[in-house]
Structure formats: C-alpha cells, structure tokens
Chains A and B, each alone.
Chain A
C-alpha cells in the first residue's frame, strides 16, 4: 500500500472545479489524486491509502454515496467528505451525520473545504481520551466543565464551554462558522445574519478580555482559529 498522512483523493467530475480543488489542497501541502468518475475512484480508493477522500454526490457513472459504501465494504476506513449540490435538505446526505463522516454543500469556499479536510485528517490520526485540554495558559477541565486562564476561572454557559472546547481541540487550525454550527449546535443551516460572530464575540470577551495575549483569532472570510503564541 502506498499513501500517507497528507495524501487525499478527490472525486469530482467537473474539470474546472476539480482543478481548483487540487490547486487549493496542493498549496496547503497535500498530495492530491483526482478521480473524475466513480469507477476511477473505486480503483484508486482500493489501491491507495488516503488520509481523507472527498466524493461528489453526483457522478457521471455511479452515485457518490454508492462509491463510498463500496469502498467501506472493501475495508477502506479513510474518512469521507461528501460534497453535494442538492442543498442542506438532501435526505441521503443528511443521513451521513449518523455515520460520522462530514459533508459540504456546493458552492463552498476553498478555505472551508481545506478546514474540513484538515479536521477529518486529524480525526483519523488522533484518538485520545483526555480530561484536560490546554491552549497556551487556557485550561479546560472536561470533567468539571470549567475553564481557567492562569488559574483564574472563566464563567461560561454550557454552550460557550462546548464552543471553546471545539476551538481548543482544533488548536492551530481554521474552524469555519458552518463547522461551529454543525459541531457545537448540531445545526445544518446557513444563518443569514452574523449570529455566530456575535456569539463568538461574547466568548472571546470572556476568554481574551484583559489578558496577556488573545487566543481566539478571526480568519477573514472563513471563521476562527485558536492559537497560542510560541
């Protein structure tokens, strides 16, 4: 078997979109294989070990979900990101939620795609049972559900704690607004307002207000990133 941690398979039939995706991922340090139809994807998926696979829902020969199922039955365990143009209410893609893999609705920003792939690749790499998460001088106690910075407790609502936990778990990586909605609120819709920004703003005031350095950073056009200074 060939492959590796930074090797991804992209299954996309539109040549221009495929080219753009390959480009975006290559720039982010990924090795990218491209399959333009379902059969090609099955061949590649079975012969190579990928960190992540993205599969378009609608392919010219085989349905993207069937490709995924087929690979799974053949023992391929790499996480799959399904890309659908059918919208958030596509029932079958919604069904994926239970399966644990991710989905993205077309059109999407490339940063969003990269962020999702990063998250999936990490998920396949680390399975650690921690009770305390750390980022810089921030400490999250997952048992007592309390957050402290330099030993001083930060008062957080349960949902705010969840949000911060998700940030810290993805330390150093971009987290998009849609990912937050999906993983913190278990919601799958596109808020037309800046509601997430306002919410994060409040958490940020509690976490970063009057501290030595900020932990939550805004990534323009995408979302946020938690980063502690080295």
Chain B
C-alpha cells in the first residue's frame, strides 16, 4: 500500500527537476555513506579478529614454553589443567601424536582441515563440546612439534562472527533508513516546490484564458516563493495599468482621428453630389490634404512616442552638449518669439554634457520652447536655463504666461490631453507625451513648477561622469 502511494508520488514528481536534483544528491550522499559504513565495518571486524589472534598466540606461547621445558608429559599435564580451569571462555586445545591420534585436549579428533607443519585456520568441529547442539565456528593455530607431535590451540569465534553480523546488519538498516528518509524528504520538498510552481502556472493559464485580473496567491511566509509571487503580481499590476492606458489611448486616437476623417468624408460626399466647379474643388482638395496631413502627423507622433518608449533608440546615444542643443533651439525659435513680440533667451554654461540622442533631445526641448512661446503671455519672456549641478545636468524652460493649474500637472503628460482653454490652439496633445517619453529614455526626471507667474518645466539628467568640462580653467595668455 505504502509502495503504491510512494510510486504514485514518484510518478507525479519524477519529471520535476527539483526531484531529479534531489535524487542525484541522494546518490552522491549514499555513495559516501556506503563507503563510510564499509570502512567502519571492516576496521571493527579486523580489530576484533586481531584481538582473537593475539589471545590464541599468547596461549600457544605458554603451551609451547611448557613443552620446551617439560616435554610431552608436561604439556599433557598443562593442557588437562587448563581445560579443567578454563581460564579463557571457549578455548580449544589438542595434542596429537605423529599419526594424529589425540593425546590430550578437548577435541576428540584432529581436524582434517589442519595439515602441514604450522598455520592458522578457521574451521568447525563436530566433536567439540558434545553438550552443544550447534557447530560454532572455530579459529586455531597449529604446529608440528620437534618430536613430530601436533599441537593445536584455538578459540571459539562464534561471538566474533555474531558481532560482525550485527555490525553489518546495523549498518545495512541504518543505510536503508537514511535512503528511505532522504527519498521521502526529497519527495516532500519536490511536492512543495511543484505545488508553488503549479500555483504560478495555473494563475498564468487563468490569465491567458480569462484576463489580467487574476493574481498568484501568497502564503504569507515571506519566503523566496512569496517573493517570486509578489514580483510577478507587481508585474501583472504594471501590465494591467499599461493595458488600461493603451485602451485609453486607443479610444483617444479613435476620437482624434474620427473627427478630421468625418470632416473629410462629409466634404468629399458633398463634392460628389455637386456640379464640378474648379475653384470649389481646388479649395476642397487643399483643405482635405491639410486635414490628412494633420491625421498623418498624429500617426507619426504616436509611432515616434511608442518607438521611444520601446527603448529601441539607445543605439543613437552618444555624448551630446546640452548647451549647444539649447543654443540652436533658441536661435531657431528666436524668430517665432520675436513675431509674438516676446523674447527668448538662454542662460547658462557653454558645455553641459549628457549622454543621449541629439535628435530626440532637440525634439523634446524644442517642444517645451514651442509650448512656452505658444501658451505664454503675448510679448512675454521665455527663458531656457542650463545648469550643471553635482547631481547631473539640468535644463529648464520657463515662461511668464498664465501657467497651468496645479491639479492638471500630472494630466498634461497623458497622450492627447489638452487643457480646456487650449482646445482651439493648434496642436494634438502629444507634445508633452513625447517630451516625457524622451525624458524617460534618458533616465532623466521632468518636473512642472509654478514660475510665479507662468510655468516652468525642468528636466534633470542623471549624474554623468562626463560632465563638468566647463569647470576646467582656461589659462589666460596675457595678464
């Protein structure tokens, strides 16, 4: 029954990589355990064996000395005495004459296995100790004495082999137990891991099937699995927000495109039902082209923003001088400011280096300056300021116009968002979205501030190792 459950669990978890790794670990660990136990077994066994041999050898030495001093008679007497006294449990003696006829000892027959002048042997003797039913294993040393008699001294080694067997059994059991426990532990761990992964998997499947509102359940243990689940949930939140924004933008695109497209359609329909009239046709066609251009401009602005946001443009990143860009923009827009009776001026360093895309930075700052001139006060002041602080380069564009209400600050970066009062000025509500995208691409931060009066937009670039050139002192040639 247990086997069935284990095999069922195995079948489920066998494909898990965690289980495979656990199995590998068990194999390596098991090999070490077997090697260690083998070493323990063999060293214990040989230690006990050598102890036995030493006891036998010492006893033999005593008998041999008695033979040397007292001859066969003395030896027979000693053997009889030792058998009667039994100083050593399970000891074994036999003295036989040249033709192996026993003279003294507790073995009735010279064992047939023991032949030769001298040696050590393990054997079993049926005749020994008739009160015992078993035939215990024996170990003995033997020698042919100078008078051709044969002497044998030995020990019952039943205890020794029992000890060996017990050690062996214990080791096998412990080994088996370790394997079973390790196997069970790895199955449990695998089940747990597979369970957490399965939770993530099933949530992913549910999201694919039904939508982004599902989240991976947390266990509240704050372990690494909870952390993974939390990160994934955060990612899902972000994706959900982005999807929401995409839907919002799609709606806005649809609205902003439908308006001019409807206008064009109506115009063409009217023209279709009218008599051809070259003056009328001419103005109709040029109006339609202008409207189409506006639609196409929205498209290219949108693709531009999404291309920037897709972060694909870092290839064009190099060290650019922000001051130079600002200078060119001020020069380019100077005429436009002048036309409105205002002034556009640049304040700040000669060399403020940042890492970025010149075209995109130009585009972003040009957008800000364009906004400042367009939405600022007539005959107002627009100031582009560049500073190079320790924390990184900063560029700001400030006007002294009506500004925007503080509660609109965040909205202005949304695509297609336009303030109510600027609904009727030219523009498509994508300018600041583009600026925002460019700023984010450069890992910079954009801030909207009240210029008291007016609006000030500030872009702070991250600290760059390459800035600070303008601090280099230029030696004066004549003083």
How many Å from the CB of B306 to the closest CB on chain A?
Answer: 10
B313 within 8 Å of A (CB atoms): yes
Task: Tell me which of B296, B304, B328, B431 contacts A88 (CB under 8 A).
Answer: B304
Instruction: Name which of B313, B335, B374 has the most chain A CB atoms within 10 A of its CB.
Output: B335
Task: Tell me which of B289, B335, B359 contacts A188 (CB under 8 A).
Answer: B359
Residues from chain B with Cβ under 8 Å of A88 in the complex: 300, 304, 359
A212 within 8 Å of B (CB atoms): no
Also in contact, A192 and B362, with CB within 8 A (given A89-B313, A91-B313, A94-B316): no
Residues from chain A with Cβ under 8 Å of B300 in the complex: 87-88, 105, 190
Q: For window 172-215 of chain A, which residues contact chain B by CB distance below 8 Å?
A: 185, 187-195, 198-199, 201-202
How many Å from the CB of B379 to the closest CB on chain A?
Answer: 16
B402 within 8 Å of A (CB atoms): no
A107 within 8 Å of B (CB atoms): yes
Q: What does the 1/0 interface line of B320-351 toward A look like (CB < 8 Å)?
A: 00000000100111011011000000000000
How many Å from the CB of B282 to the closest CB on chain A?
Answer: 12
Also in contact, A199 and B335, with CB within 8 A (given A187-B359, A189-B363): yes
A159 within 8 Å of B (CB atoms): yes
State the main secondary structure of chain A at its contact with B.
Answer: loop
Residues from chain A with Cβ under 8 Å of B335 in the complex: 195, 198-199, 201-202
Residues from chain B with Cβ under 8 Å of A89 in the complex: 304, 307-308, 312-313
Q: Which residue of A lies closest to B431 (CB)?
A: A192
Q: Which residue of A lies closest to B305 (CB)?
A: A89
B124 within 8 Å of A (CB atoms): no
Q: How far is the CA of A107 from the CA of B332 in the complex (A)?
A: 26
Q: How far is the CA of A159 from the CA of B331 in the complex (A)?
A: 8
Whether A189 and B336, one on each chain, are in contact in the complex, defined by CB atoms closer than 8 angstroms, is: no
Q: How far is the CA of A199 from the CA of B331 in the complex (A)?
A: 9
Also in contact, A195 and B370, with CB within 8 A (given A88-B304, A89-B313, A185-B328): yes
Whether A198 and B339, one on each chain, are in contact in the complex, defined by CB atoms closer than 8 angstroms, is: yes
Q: How far is the CA of A50 from the CA of B301 in the complex (A)?
A: 35
Residues from chain B with Cβ under 8 Å of A94 in the complex: 316
B428 within 8 Å of A (CB atoms): yes
A157 within 8 Å of B (CB atoms): yes
Residues from chain B with Cβ under 8 Å of A194 in the complex: 336
Residues from chain B with Cβ under 8 Å of A202 in the complex: 335, 338
Residues from chain A with Cβ under 8 Å of B289 in the complex: 221
How many Å from the CB of A174 to the closest CB on chain B?
Answer: 17
Q: For window 273-330 of chain B, which residues contact chain A by CB distance below 8 Å?
A: 286, 289, 296-297, 300-301, 303-304, 307-308, 312-313, 315-316, 328
Residues from chain A with Cβ under 8 Å of B332 in the complex: 159, 185, 195, 199
Q: Which residue of A lies closest to B316 (CB)?
A: A94
Also in contact, A193 and B359, with CB within 8 A (given A91-B313, A201-B335): no
Q: How far is the CA of A61 from the CA of B316 in the complex (A)?
A: 28
Residues from chain A with Cβ under 8 Å of B374 in the complex: 193
Residues from chain A with Cβ under 8 Å of B459 in the complex: none
Whether B304 and A87, one on each chain, are in contact in the complex, defined by CB atoms closer than 8 angstroms, is: yes
Task: Tell me which of A187, A190, A193 contacts B426 (CB under 8 A).
Answer: A193
Whether A192 and B328, one on each chain, are in contact in the complex, defined by CB atoms closer than 8 angstroms, is: no
Q: How far is the CA of A191 from the CA of B329 in the complex (A)?
A: 12
Also in contact, A87 and B303, with CB within 8 A (given A185-B328, A198-B339): yes
Residues from chain A with Cβ under 8 Å of B187 in the complex: none
Q: What does the 1/0 interface line of B70-105 toward A look like (CB < 8 Å)?
A: 000000000000000000000000000000000000
Q: How far is the CA of A201 from the CA of B301 in the complex (A)?
A: 26
B398 within 8 Å of A (CB atoms): no
Q: Which residue of B lies closest to A160 (CB)?
A: B331
B383 within 8 Å of A (CB atoms): no
Whether A91 and B316, one on each chain, are in contact in the complex, defined by CB atoms closer than 8 angstroms, is: yes
Residues from chain B with Cβ under 8 Å of A193 in the complex: 336, 370, 374, 426
Q: Which residue of B lies closest to A189 (CB)?
A: B363
Residues from chain A with Cβ under 8 Å of B359 in the complex: 88, 187-189
Q: What does the 1/0 interface line of A65-93 toward B look like (CB < 8 Å)?
A: 00000000000000000000001110100
How many Å from the CB of A179 to the closest CB on chain B?
Answer: 15
Q: How far is the CA of A195 from the CA of B316 in the complex (A)?
A: 25
B366 within 8 Å of A (CB atoms): yes
Q: Which residue of A lies closest to B339 (CB)?
A: A198
Q: Which residue of B lies closest to A200 (CB)?
A: B335
Q: How far is the CA of A82 from the CA of B282 in the complex (A)?
A: 31
Q: What does the 1/0 interface line of A84-116 toward B look like (CB < 8 Å)?
A: 000111010010000000000101000000000
How many Å from the CB of A14 to the closest CB on chain B?
Answer: 16
Q: For window 155-178 of chain B, which residues contact chain A by CB distance below 8 Å?
A: none
Q: How far is the CA of A195 from the CA of B335 in the complex (A)?
A: 8
Residues from chain B with Cβ under 8 Å of A107 in the complex: 296
Whether A195 and B333, one on each chain, are in contact in the complex, defined by CB atoms closer than 8 angstroms, is: yes
Q: How far is the CA of A201 from the CA of B297 in the complex (A)?
A: 24
How many Å from the CB of A69 to the closest CB on chain B?
Answer: 19
Q: For window 346-365 of chain B, which residues contact chain A by CB distance below 8 Å?
A: 359, 362-363
Q: Which residue of A lies closest to B369 (CB)?
A: A195
B427 within 8 Å of A (CB atoms): yes
How many Å from the CB of B383 to the closest CB on chain A?
Answer: 18
Residues from chain A with Cβ under 8 Å of B336 in the complex: 193-195, 198-199
Task: Tell me which of A187, A192, A201, A221 contacts B428 (CB under 8 A).
Answer: A192
Q: How far is the CA of A170 from the CA of B70 in the complex (A)?
A: 141
- Please list the residues of chain B having a beta carbon within 8 angstroms of any beta carbon in chain A: 286, 289, 296-297, 300-301, 303-304, 307-308, 312-313, 315-316, 328, 331-333, 335-336, 338-339, 359, 362-363, 366, 370, 374, 426-428, 431
5 more contacts with CB within 8 A, not counting A192-B427, A193-B374, A221-B289, are A87-B303, A191-B370, A192-B426, A195-B333, A202-B338
Which 5 residue pairs spanning A and B have beta carbons closest together? Answer: A202-B335, A198-B335, A198-B336, A89-B307, A189-B363
Selected A-B contacts with CB under 8 Å, 8 pairs? A88-B300, A105-B300, A159-B328, A185-B328, A187-B359, A190-B300, A192-B370, A202-B335
